[in-house]
Amino acid sequence: MAPPPPPSSTASSRQQLQSITIPRYTSTLPIHYTVVLQLPVQTWSVQRRYSAFLTLHSQLTASVGAPPATLPGKQNAGSYFLQRIVGGGGGGGGSKMLHQQGGDADGELEERRKGLERYLFDVWSAGPRWRDSRAFKAFLEWPEELPLPAPPPSSSRQSTAATEGSTRNATSTTAAAAAAASSSAKVTSTLPGSLPASSSSSTSKDGGTAYRSLGAPTASSSAAAQDRANSSNAALYTSQQQEMDRQDEQLNGLTAILRRQRHLGETINTELQEQTELLRTLDDEVESAQNKMHAAEGKMEKVEGKRTKRLFGFA
């Protein structure tokens, strides 16, 4: 089950996305490739079939233009049809028969995995036009409202180193197989359990015998591991420094907002005081007018009384 995507927040939008890789694929049909996204403090993965990569390529081409990346082709139709028939008998049988087809099927799947991984990295590093497209974010299950960070400088070196390492591993495996076959052919002419003298050591260029301890790392592999560790530490430090700078910017913005709010509050308070004073003045004027009205009414009553007396002859 894939871990949840990153939270939809401002903090996660500035996190450094370290790598996008496809480390493995399922051994049962249909084949699913595991796409892993690595952040400094979080990792999650999504499962995608090859048809999803085809859909992504079509959507990118239709929406923002063809990406500068090569999508590996499909398997040959006969092999794919055979695998679909074999896989129809159930997950366990499909997996067993898939591996019984020989190294060709596994080799094709491994080459496709490497090609799909290179394709995702090329789209990711091509630029914001493809990286921030809706189709690419949906494929990676990245929140649409957050920008997808560009690959760090160490990603290109690590990708190149991984490719070269795979090539060296394949060459070493082929050479080891050839050496084992040659040694097996020579052992058949000796006694069982004995080691031929020619295979116990290798001859160096100057005619001497060169020995290598099993399991001891070479100087080049140690240096490469140290370079990778330094690159990872530098990327993590850069990411943390960027995060601290971003938080400082947010604090400065929050301070400015609070100052504006204080100024607005003081302005509102002054306005309320002025309105209160106006209401008091109005209240005094209304009270004065009422007093004048009462006095006028008293005078009117006196005049009315005198008029009534004169009218009836009482005056």
User: Distance between the two ends of the chain, CA-based, in angstroms?
Assistant: 113
pLDDT of residue 223: 78
Residue at a domain's end among 129, 151, 169: 169
pLDDT of residue 216: 53
In the structure encoding, which two tokens stand for residue 272, read together?
Answer: 């309320």
Query: Which residue in 20, 45, 49 sits closest to 109, CA to CA?
Result: 49
Integer Cα distance of 240 and 15 in angstroms: 8
Integer Cα distance of 199 and 171 in angstroms: 20
pLDDT of residue 178: 56
Answer whether residue 107 is part of any domain.
yes
- Residue 171 amino acid letter: T
Question: DSSP readout, 154-196?
Answer: HHHHHHHHHHHHHHHHHHHHHHHHHHHHHHHHHHTTS-TT---
pLDDT of residue 231: 78
Answer whether residue 235 is part of any domain.
no
Shared-domain flag, residues 165 and 278: no
Answer whether residue 1 is part of any domain.
yes
Query: Which residue in 168, 152, 167, 52 sits closest to 114, CA to CA?
Result: 167
Residue 180, C-beta contacts closer than 8 angstroms, at least 6 positions apart: none
- CATH code at position 153: 3.30.1520.10
68 neighbors 125 (Cβ within 8 angstroms): no
Q: Give the DSSP H/E element, type plus range, for residue 202.
A: strand 202-203
What domain count does the chain have?
Answer: 2
Q: Give the DSSP H/E element, type plus range, for residue 24.
A: strand 19-25
Using CB atoms within 10 Å of the CB of residue 75, give its burial: 0 to 12 exposed, 13 to 18 middle, 19+ buried: middle
pTM of the model: 0.44
Q: Which domain holds residue 279?
A: 261-315
Shared-domain flag, residues 5 and 153: yes
Residue at a domain's end among 116, 149, 169: 169
pLDDT of residue 266: 92
Residue 179, C-beta contacts closer than 8 angstroms, at least 6 positions apart: none
pLDDT of residue 57: 94
Identify the bridge partners of residue 25 per DSSP, sorted by sequence position. Answer: 33
Answer whether residue 242 is part of any domain.
no
Integer Cα distance of 142 and 169 in angstroms: 34
Answer whether residue 248 is part of any domain.
no
Answer whether residue 189 is part of any domain.
no
pLDDT of residue 8: 47
How does pLDDT run along the chain (315 residues), one tens digit per residue?
A: 444 454 444 444 455 788 999 999 998 889 999 999 988 888 889 999 999 999 999 999 999 999 988 999 876 544 544 444 444 444 444 444 444 444 567 788 899 999 999 999 999 999 899 999 999 999 999 988 888 888 888 665 445 444 554 445 445 545 555 555 555 544 444 444 444 444 444 444 444 544 445 555 566 677 777 777 777 888 888 889 999 999 999 999 999 999 999 989 999 999 999 999 999 999 999 999 999 999 999 889 888 888 877 777 765
> Beta-carbon neighbour count of residue 22 at 10 Å?
22
Whether a cis peptide bond, with omega within 30° of 0, leads into 4 is no
99 neighbors 27 (Cβ within 8 angstroms): yes
Answer whether residue 200 is part of any domain.
no
